[in-house]
Structure 1
């Protein structure tokens, strides 16, 4: 008994001593610049928690349950999915695209014998089915929710958080911030409920949680600045109404400030974010010329874009010897004073021959992933090949083009300094493309206000931007900051849309445009009438509008969208991607949107 009594007396001391030794042997979690993050397990645990919660509620959806029950469970599941979203975007982008896909048929084509038509099975589709006005068959409803019920556990089992470094987790937060500002708050992925502001809050709650995991690696000042900023951001989103939310102030006051905090955090951790991605990781303004990483939109191993290469490219751009007839150049159709369009309804080629479509603008074209309205061009250099081969345009083979430039001694010194003397058709095309890549000033009135260089926007212009980004749904296709169809936050793909475009602006007697668009060359009926989303930058200078030049004024463009496109006008357009329901924009709202778009004229062209 005395022995047991003695053991009971010393046991607490043994345990305390063991506990202290155990604590002493645990390594302190710190930031590493050379090895896997010590915080991976903590972040992975949070990722699993959010996905497991999303799965829990999605499994409650069943065709045997009432509509109200299914709606409620969808909202609860999506709440947790949105908390997982920043990590999905960063570490499982393919599944993010699948689970967040719009309710549009996806066509994947490898060749004429391998064409896949994939019906979407995403949260967006489920939202439309459960909250939309149309009655959906139980079989179709089951197809979508059953996919999500199976997919989420699959994602957990095959997660991608394995060997991330701390810089990857910081980039994850940065991409989440960019995604909210440029796509999240536009209503892109909540097409029926317009629940975007609340869902942005869930994204920020995840950013806040990840920061709490890293709390001990941040000094008190930066950590407090983060918490204060996120708290204020969430408060701002909570107080907002989708149609009237001030997205201009949100991006200017919150998004850009958060990008500054990302940089401060990187400096504190003494890490460098990767520069091998589409976005410049150090930029602190989404409407700045520095926002994109331009080299990632150029072919690998291309010479650096310099004043010399731009000058050479501009000279070639204006050189008529690039054409077989020796009478036209790139500048013939792409006139600088018109923001590199030509003012014609349909472009005119050699000898005034009408071409197929309207001349597209060139500024900011570098930030696209597809070229020509039907996407047949792969890169700027590839697009130039299409022009040279066209019998109604340059009508010249690449070898002859090369010889024509070699015959001009004034080019020799320039090619010597940039391309080591090699005058090849490839280098000629790269020089022209380099000039086009330089056309990204981001110095319009709107940009200058976003950059705090001036404070000149009127209330109407700010209202126009907010409508463009919200109620009018323009930004669900024309993504800022370029307002092309290249999708944030990765900017890895350019979207194509089917608007049900008419031949003219006569909306009382509408006739559907018959241009097949993406139908060729594979002749997939579900792609007929699809065209690349063009930019609205410098739009005040680029009339007439649309790929067929159907609309002379911006008022006509807005009226077409306001009426719901071709379907809204009563035309038979089975694969239209534009919602056919009217936008219900009044005259003042339309005027405001046009006023905003007029602020997107770059300073380079203001005096023309």
Structure 2
């Protein structure tokens, strides 16, 4: 049975790739494939130079040589990154994965763990205070073999102009949302140099495709903006002004990208997670809602209105006393203000922006909103009901059947009931905070402290390596197909004299995977100032306490000795002012009322 399922999955993937390749109308503005031949040559050349530097590491004798060769290999890897991440995301992620044991849990009978390898692993080995030379050489050889495999099996013959535009936009957004945060350079802190190299790659791609531009002035604007961005990257990691970079450079480049779509006469027929016409990453219209649901029309106002009505209807529960709104109150940013909801062992998370993720509940046990609703309905400690009872109530209602008939042309069913409730939750994405309005150039009211706080969040404090902007949750840019879980070591109380880790085992309780103990989904930080108390157990009541917890090194800072803790390092060493600025920024994520 597993083999059959595996073959079916492979067939689906191959079919999806075929659709992806044929997804856009052919652009006939160029007559030859010379540009693509040149692009493939450049790409393979980067991979070859990358593997050569890695191979030389296996013969080096000093740590300084290791660092120098690693730097060269990484530079070539970053040159190749925009194309590699697009045409072979799986191998790109493997080569650039965090130095953390990877666990794949498809179901209770198919759980796999694998040791990480690649650039982040190699970097941490080389920059270790006590480097293991043999292990470094082993990892370099393993990484080189994978790079060579990609080079020897690479073809860009399937690409067209619309793919080049996707490559450009993905790279721009990847740098803004991950590259400048230090996400993939936790030891060498080369993120800004890496970003500069990625932009050099974009410059090279544009040069190769210069003939595709009808508007030559537009091409020159691209080159000028890329060079300005590269100049901005020439800064100290902690001092880099990420707020200004995204506002004045990333968003400017997105505007140029939209003009290029028109200039190249490209039409897209497949939707991506981010809408094509965006000029800001922090706007209500930034995300394509259909990416996060299987529904065809989740933004239908009638579905949203009906979903809101059912969301607040207590008669859906067996006791007729509990509705979704009981634990997710609009006046409390869709939380209940309690450490733990009545009858539930975990804190009630906000539903604002909850639809823009790929995993639900603190343990990520459900992959979609519609499935999440089933769990709530059937949970003895929540609705304590069944789908059958829920449908029976809705069908007997004097008003609901007619509304369902009007929207769906059919009677209420458990599926369309769940669809409308999900539609309502999917509508709770205002992107109307003080921060959104400022970074999108709609107003100019951020204080210097608040700007500093964002830069600390995205830089020194490493918050954005788990809470990815613009959602500030664990949904990973730029594909937005995965919602990450982390082990941070939350204590059961505020007691720092004799601290104890909270007994809730998190993700472990789903499949009993040993190295998933204490892992929890990364929640959104939007509206965080309204959603106290904090953490899955509500242990902290102020943002200052949360910042202190991270600043001290999380659970390991409290002495828990958690082997798989995922925080980047032990202590953040934030100053009092930096902590104050960080809290000031977090408060700007409150949506206007």
TM-score class, shorter-chain normalisation, is: over 0.9
Unmatched 5+ stretches in structure 1 = 1-29, 349-353
What is the RMSD computed on CA atoms of the aligned residues? 1.7
1:83 and 2:79 equivalent?
Answer: yes
Q: Is the 8 A contact 1:342 1:359 kept in 2?
A: yes
Specify the alignment match of 2:565 in structure 1. Answer: 576
Specify the alignment match of 1:473 in structure 2. Answer: 462
Tell which deviates more after alignment, 33-42 or 289-298.
33-42
Q: 1:334-413, aligned counterparts within 5 Å?
A: 334-348=328-342, 354-413=343-402
CA-to-partner distance for each residue in 1:357-399, whole Å, 9 max, x for gaps?
A: 1001111111110000001112000000110110010011101
- Between the aligned partners of 1:85 and 1:328, the Cα distance in structure 2 is 50
1:115 match: secondary structure: strand
Tell which deviates more after alignment, 93-102 or 55-64.
55-64
Q: Give the alignment partner of residue 159 of structure 1, picking from 141, 154, 158.
A: 154
Q: Cα 1:317–1:256, aligned 2, differ >3 Å: closer, same or farther?
A: same
Specify the alignment match of 2:496 in structure 1. Answer: 507
Specify the alignment match of 2:591 in structure 1. Answer: 602
Specify the alignment match of 1:325 in structure 2. Answer: 319
1:562 and 2:539 equivalent?
Answer: no
Q: Give the alignment partner of residue 436 of structure 2, picking from 441, 447, 452.
A: 447
- Between the aligned partners of 1:309 and 1:530, the Cα distance in structure 2 is 35
- Between the aligned partners of 1:279 and 1:399, the Cα distance in structure 2 is 37
Q: Is the 8 A contact 2:365 2:510 kept in 1?
A: no
Q: Give the alignment partner of residue 486 of structure 1, picking from 471, 475, 478.
A: 475
- Between the aligned partners of 1:97 and 1:393, the Cα distance in structure 2 is 39
Q: Cα 1:134–1:334, aligned 2, differ >3 Å: closer, same or farther?
A: farther
2:56 match: secondary structure: coil
CA-to-partner distance for each residue in 1:539-588, whole Å, 9 max, x for gaps?
A: 01100000011111111100000000111222121111113421000111
Tell me how far 1:422 sits from its aligned partner: 2.6
Q: Is the 8 A contact 1:36 1:163 kept in 2?
A: no
Tell me how far 1:181 sits from its aligned partner: 0.2
Specify the alignment match of 2:419 in structure 1. Answer: 430
1:461 and 2:457 equivalent?
Answer: no
- Between the aligned partners of 1:244 and 1:601, the Cα distance in structure 2 is 26
Specify the alignment match of 1:216 in structure 2. Answer: 211
- Between the aligned partners of 1:418 and 1:32, the Cα distance in structure 2 is 42
Count of aligned pairs between the two proteins: 567
- Between the aligned partners of 1:508 and 1:136, the Cα distance in structure 2 is 36
Specify the alignment match of 1:178 in structure 2. Answer: 173
Q: Is the 8 A contact 1:58 1:74 kept in 2?
A: yes
- Between the aligned partners of 2:560 and 2:456, the Cα distance in structure 1 is 27
2:250 match: secondary structure: helix
1:116 match: secondary structure: strand
Specify the alignment match of 1:13 in structure 2. Answer: none
Q: Give the alignment partner of residue 257 of structure 2, picking from 262, 272, 279.
A: 262
Q: Cα 1:38–1:322, aligned 2, differ >3 Å: closer, same or farther?
A: farther
- Between the aligned partners of 1:111 and 1:410, the Cα distance in structure 2 is 40
Tell me how far 1:356 sits from its aligned partner: 1.9
Q: 1:16-31, aligned counterparts within 5 Å?
A: 31=27
Larger Rg: 1
Q: Cα 1:431–1:510, aligned 2, differ >3 Å: closer, same or farther?
A: same
CA-to-partner distance for each residue in 1:490-535, whole Å, 9 max, x for gaps?
A: 1111111000111122223211111111112321111101000011
TM-score where L is the length of structure 2: 0.93
Specify the alignment match of 1:121 in structure 2. Answer: 117
Tell me how far 1:160 sits from its aligned partner: 4.7
1:106 and 2:95 equivalent?
Answer: no
2:509 match: secondary structure: coil
Q: Give the alignment partner of residue 516 of structure 2, picking from 527, 531, 534.
A: 527
